[in-house]
Amino acid sequence: MRTKDFAFKLQSVQRDGTFNGYGSVFGIKDSYDEIVAPGAFSDTLSRHKTADTMPAMLWQHRSGEPIGAYMQMSEDSIGLKLEGQLELKTARGAEAYALMSMQPRPAINGLSIGFVPRMEQFDKVTGITTLTAVDLWEVSLVTFPANDAARVQGVKALEALDSLKSAEQYLRDTGLSRREAMLFISRVKSLSQSESEDSMQPLIDAIARRNAIFNV
């Protein structure tokens, strides 16, 4: 599953934890040279409507930390319009509400979709990929924009892990596949103690760009 961050316009946050805004905007090229096309979510939303379900509302893409539920989600001419309600009785839900309600500006102002691409078109001239159909699994409240320093600290935390298995699990918890996690660990182990942090930065940046998950 891939993730994609969006700065979303938070239109309102009510005392009961309800909020609304846009989780994705159509036709805007992002930092990964990707564009979400109108209609990309239509099949997913149709299936959820039939099943009377909704994509999950998570905290920072952590599957074990649902923080509420989406009540409405639809496409309009702008993008993926949604309305959700935080569960204020949960620690994370209350935390999200407090951060979203801060004045004069919220500390949380981003949503990130977790999805599997079904159809996409790549333009060899522009280098832009247009996502025309995706399976939308979840929409997370996230810190946006992603903090580069936090991403690096997350990777450096591997030094404190005491086994290959725990290191692999750490990376998989951030969103990497098992194969990607093992490749990353293998690359880190191949670096000598004398190599500078700069030698790892291209690898860190590449994985961060690919998955956009080191914002935890």
**What's the pLDDT tens digit per position in 103-162?**
888 888 778 888 999 999 999 999 999 999 999 999 988 875 433 322 323 333 434 445
Q: How many domains does the chain have?
A: 2
User: Looking at the structure, do residues 83 and 183 belong to the same domain, yes or no?
Assistant: no
User: Looking at the structure, do residues 82 and 125 belong to the same domain, yes or no?
Assistant: yes
Asked if residue 171 has pLDDT above 90, the reply is no
User: Looking at the structure, do residues 55 and 117 belong to the same domain, yes or no?
Assistant: yes
User: Looking at the structure, do residues 157 and 133 belong to the same domain, yes or no?
Assistant: no
Q: Which residues contact 187 (CB under 8 A, 6 or more apart)?
A: 203
Averaged over 21-50, what is the pLDDT? 90
Residue 114 host element (H or E) = strand 110-122
202 falls within a domain: yes
Domain boundary among 142, 162, 191: 142
What is the pTM assigned to this prediction?
0.65
Strand bridging mode 79-86 / 18-25: antiparallel
User: Looking at the structure, do residues 106 and 136 belong to the same domain, yes or no?
Assistant: yes
User: Looking at the structure, do residues 45 and 104 belong to the same domain, yes or no?
Assistant: yes
**pLDDT score of 11:** 62
Task: Give the domain extent around 27.
Answer: 2-142
User: Looking at the structure, do residues 135 and 153 belong to the same domain, yes or no?
Assistant: no
pLDDT confidence of 202, banded at 50, 70, 90? Answer: low
Domain boundary among 142, 168, 190: 142
Structure letter (DSSP) for residue 115: E
Q: Report the amino acid identity of residue 40.
A: A
Measure the CA–CA gap between 19 and 13, rounded to whole angstroms: 5
Asked if residue 189 has pLDDT above 80, the reply is no
Measure the CA–CA gap between 11 and 71, rounded to whole angstroms: 16
216 falls within a domain: no
**pLDDT score of 191:** 54
Q: Which residues contact 173 (CB under 8 A, 6 or more apart)?
A: 62
User: Looking at the structure, do residues 75 and 175 belong to the same domain, yes or no?
Assistant: no
User: Looking at the structure, do residues 161 and 135 belong to the same domain, yes or no?
Assistant: no
User: Looking at the structure, do residues 115 and 163 belong to the same domain, yes or no?
Assistant: no
Domain boundary among 122, 142, 162: 142
Give the three-state DSSP class for 49: helix
Distances (CA, A) of 212 to 9, 90, 98, 134, 163: 20, 26, 24, 17, 25
User: Looking at the structure, do residues 69 and 174 belong to the same domain, yes or no?
Assistant: no
53 falls within a domain: yes
